[in-house]
């Protein structure tokens, strides 16, 4: 499974957050697209509309397990996708901004 470190991500990289709604509401990366793993197949069209056509998709969850599943699925669909190693836990630990649904400082649930 292709992976990337949080520290290697740039601010304009496309980030897909596959955590569940309560996790997202508590805290997420501000520019991420949120489609929970449990809804991913049914909302796949929403993903394809938002994802870069010729760019890489960085998939993130809390620690890397769920995002690895989605990244693998996307790679099988011919999409350049990678799993973000360590997920939002490492994101927050690295000092990357985490916001809640109101845009206020959030936390990783």
Does 9 participate in catalysis according to the annotation? no
Among candidate residues 9, 61, 68, 84, the one labeled active-site is 61
pLDDT of residue 75: 96
pLDDT of residue 1: 80
The two structure tokens encoding residue 43: 């909302």
The pTM assigned to this predicted structure is: 0.96
Q: Compute the distance between CA of residue 20 and CA of residue 10 in angstroms, rounded to an integer.
A: 24
Mapping DSSP onto H, E and C, the string for 29-94 reads: CCCCEECCHHHCCCCHHHHHHHCCCCCCEEEECCCCHHHHHHHHHHHHCCCCEEEECCHHHHHHHC
List per-block mean pLDDT (blocks of 10 residues) for the chain, which spans 109 residues.
Answer: 94 96 96 97 96 95 97 96 98 97 94
């Amino acid at each position: 499974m292709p992976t990337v470190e949080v520290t290697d991500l740039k601010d304009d990289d496309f980030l897909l957050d596959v955590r569940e709604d309560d996790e997202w509401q508590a805290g997420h990366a501000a520019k991420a697209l949120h489609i929970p793993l449990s809804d991913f197949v049914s909302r796949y069209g929403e993903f394809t509309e938002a994802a870069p056509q010729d760019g890489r998709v960085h998939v993130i969850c809390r620690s890397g397990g769920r995002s690895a599943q989605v990244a693998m699925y996307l790679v099988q669909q011919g999409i350049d996708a990678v799993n973000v190693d360590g997920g939002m836990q490492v994101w927050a630990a690295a000092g990357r901004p985490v916001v809640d649904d109101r845009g206020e400082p959030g936390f990783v649930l």
